[in-house]
């Protein structure tokens, strides 16, 4: 998702949960005491997140864990995020209580946050085993795994397959990026 607006005043975690964390048409992330309204995503962003969700949802049909897309809140430290895809094994209400896998699709406006602050915060979630970051402007993925000390593994070929040990599933870049149209880079 793309970060749209920031509320400049600090609010408490309790106020966020009371005022912004209820079901609504707008999702608000809570980061270091500030509220961020999440804007709509690009076509590629939606296709990529949808493809990842669909592939995992179908692989998890007979599994205790469940796939959720976009509207599922995750608490990391004292911050609250809405990842593009979450796999949770004990989900309740509209929040992930035991996420084992989180997937974020990068956008220009969220890239820095997704690769730094969210990576840091997500690593602190005891149940989380894998964090996957997907590019939307070209075919590439980074997989961060607790079992590897959170070091990134890079995937860049359509034939590459990401093994997701936390849930016993796989994602190929070919299925993640199916029907995605990249803009051609033009020489200036």
Q: Which CATH code fits 41-176?
A: 3.90.1570.10
- pTM score: 0.84
* Alpha-carbon gap, residue 55 to 169, rounded angstroms: 9
> For residue 23, what pLDDT is reported?
60
Residue 130 pairs with which residues in a beta bridge?
A: 101, 145
Average pLDDT for 12-33: 74
Three-state SS at 127: coil
Which of 4-8, 31-35, 158-162 is modeled with the greatest confidence? 158-162
DSSP code of residue 182: P
Buried b (16+ CB within 10 A) or exposed e, 80-116: bbbbbbbbbbebeeebbeebbbbbbbbbeebeebbbe
Task: Provide the pLDDT confidence category of residue 116 given band limits of 50, 70 and 90.
Answer: very high
In tens, the pLDDT along 124-178 reads 999 999 999 999 999 999 999 999 999 999 999 999 999 999 999 999 999 999 9
């Amino acid at each position: 998702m793309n970060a749209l607006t920031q509320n400049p005043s600090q609010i408490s975690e309790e106020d966020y949960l009371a005022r912004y964390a209820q079901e609504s048409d707008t999702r608000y992330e809570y980061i270091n005491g500030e509220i961020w309204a999440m804007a709509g995503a690009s076509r590629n962003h939606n296709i990529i997140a949808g493809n990842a969700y669909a592939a995992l949802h179908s692989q998890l049909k007979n599994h205790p864990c469940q796939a959720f897309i976009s509207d599922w809140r995750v608490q990391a430290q004292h911050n609250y995020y809405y990842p593009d895809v979450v796999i949770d094994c004990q989900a309740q209400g509209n929040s992930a209580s035991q996420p084992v896998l989180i997937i974020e699709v990068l956008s220009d406006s969220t890239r820095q946050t997704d690769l730094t602050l969210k990576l840091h915060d997500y690593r602190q979630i005891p149940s989380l085993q894998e964090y996957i970051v997907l590019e939307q402007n070209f075919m590439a993925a980074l997989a961060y795994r607790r079992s590897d000390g959170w070091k990134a593994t890079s995937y860049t070929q359509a034939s590459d397959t990401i093994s997701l040990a936390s849930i016993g599933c796989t994602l190929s870049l070919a299925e993640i990026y199916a029907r995605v149209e990249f803009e051609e880079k033009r020489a200036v």
